[in-house]
Amino acid sequence: MSVTALKPNTPGQRGMTTQDFDEITTKKPVKSLIVIKKGSVGRNNQGRITTRHRGGGVRRYYRIVNYNLAQGITATVEEIEYDPNRSARIARIKDQDGAYHYIIAAQGLKKGDKIVSNEEAAIATGNRVPLKNIPTGSTIYAIELQPGKGAQLVRSAGNSAQLVAKEGDYAQVKLPSGEVRKIHVNCSAHIGNVGNVQHQNIKIGKAGRNRHKGIRPTVRGVVMNAVDHPHGGGDGGRHGMGKAPRTPWGQKTLGFKTRRRKTSNSFIVKSLHQAKRRG
């Protein structure tokens, strides 16, 4: 997959790049594996905005991805598909019983390849194997945090983790952030790394493209009125915020610690902050 620059027919296309969709083999999803996606537009069940700058966007169906591929499945990759709900590509696979599943597609996975989910499966791209049977140093993605719960880590485009060590009931996995974390050896993971590696290099190019994604405009606090934001107000002209940076609701931000102290760090071997300092 490569990044393609557009021939600028309009000013908005001048700084825009798009993806090369050569690896996509079909445009139609499986009807049994899609559901209607109703946008919450950033509101909770009381109708209050809890995430700002969300709303609008194109309509799309949600693809039901199987993050917990059962042990004993041997499947064939039928198609590689585009998924509007995530940055990664998805693979449509057909198991030995004729059932269809969607999984996160690994880089290099092609139509016709075999996928095996088994404790004794080969260490090959796309196969799903428990950590206890994966050699140290292997590249993995779609990792479980609790055995049988399904993949929760390393699922977005271009990401991969590395199995660093195994000791007793736990394996040490180096995540894309640089954090090293303990995960139980009975947890499963796919071999390889997530495809669509050039996703992060795409240039949006124009505001309308963000609106299609359901992202609305963001306005700075210092240009608002005092009634709307703690940074707002003042007698004309450009001015600073006049106080420590705050959220629209008055809570300090930019350096203010919001992490809950009750959360355990016992499974983190090397924290993200240590990794950044040493890097």
- The model's pLDDT over 135-160, given as tens digits with 9 standing for 90+, comes to 999 999 999 999 999 999 999 999 99
- The pLDDT-based confidence of 276 (bands split at 50, 70, 90) is low
Please state the φ and ψ torsions of residue 126, each to the nearest 5 degrees: 95, -25
CA torsion angle for 219, 222, 227, 233 (degrees, to 10)? -140
Residue 165, token pair as written in the block: 């060590």
Taking Cα atoms as reference points, which of 155, 204, 163 lies closest to residue 184? Answer: 163
For the chain, the average pLDDT equals 93
The confidence score (pLDDT) of residue 28 equals 95
Please state the φ and ψ torsions of residue 247, each to the nearest 5 degrees: -75, 170
- Average pLDDT, integer, range 253-259: 87
- Average pLDDT, integer, range 73-98: 96
Pairwise CA distance, residues 66 & 274, whole Å: 34
- Average pLDDT, integer, range 113-117: 96
Percent of the chain with pLDDT over 70: 98
Burial class (CB in 10 A: 0-12, 13-18, 19+), 187: buried
Cα–Cα separations (whole angstroms), residue 72 to 119, 121, 133, 140 = 8, 9, 15, 19
Among 16-20, 249-253, 257-261, 264-268, the least confident range: 257-261
DSSP state, residue 102 = E
The confidence score (pLDDT) of residue 264 equals 82
Neighbour count for residue 217 (Cβ, 10 Å):
8
Please state the φ and ψ torsions of residue 233, each to the nearest 5 degrees: 90, -175
Q: What domains are there in the chain, each with its CATH number?
A: 3-200 (2.40.50.140), 221-279 (4.10.950.10)
Specify whether the CB–CB gap between 186 and 144 falls below 8 A.
Answer: no
Give the residue with greater pLDDT, 194 vs 235: 194
- The pLDDT-based confidence of 40 (bands split at 50, 70, 90) is confident
- The pLDDT-based confidence of 238 (bands split at 50, 70, 90) is confident
The confidence score (pLDDT) of residue 161 equals 98
- Average pLDDT, integer, range 206-226: 94
Hunting for tokens 């009750």 — which residue is that? 262
The confidence score (pLDDT) of residue 278 equals 59
pLDDT tens digits, 174-197: 999 999 999 999 999 999 999 999
Give the residue with greater pLDDT, 277 vs 48: 48
- Average pLDDT, integer, range 192-218: 94
pTM of the full structure:
0.88
